[in-house]
Amino acid sequence: MSEKITLNQKIAKLDNEVEWFYSDDFKLEDAAKKYQEAVALAKDIEKDLKELKNEIEVLSEDFSK
């Protein structure tokens, strides 16, 4: 059973992936793959943030009535 990763965990993972580019572990041969993984994760985070924004807007509307 797959456990859902929280938004904070995704952001931390993206931060770690970006840090890899500045680390001693950096290898040019692996850079393209790591970059693609980071971009995919960033898009997933962006999607989560949009969903969260929509949720907040709905809640705000309910409380303003």
Question: In the numeric block, which tokens belong to residue 46?
Answer: 């962006």
pLDDT at position 65 is 64
Higher pLDDT, 9 or 65: 9
Among 19, 9, 17, 7, which residue's Cα sits nearest to residue 46? 7
Q: What is the pTM of this model?
A: 0.80
| Confidence at 61, pLDDT banded by 50, 70, 90 | confident
Q: What is the pLDDT of residues 9-59, one digit of tens each?
A: 999 999 999 999 999 999 999 999 999 999 999 999 999 999 999 999 888
Higher pLDDT, 18 or 64: 18
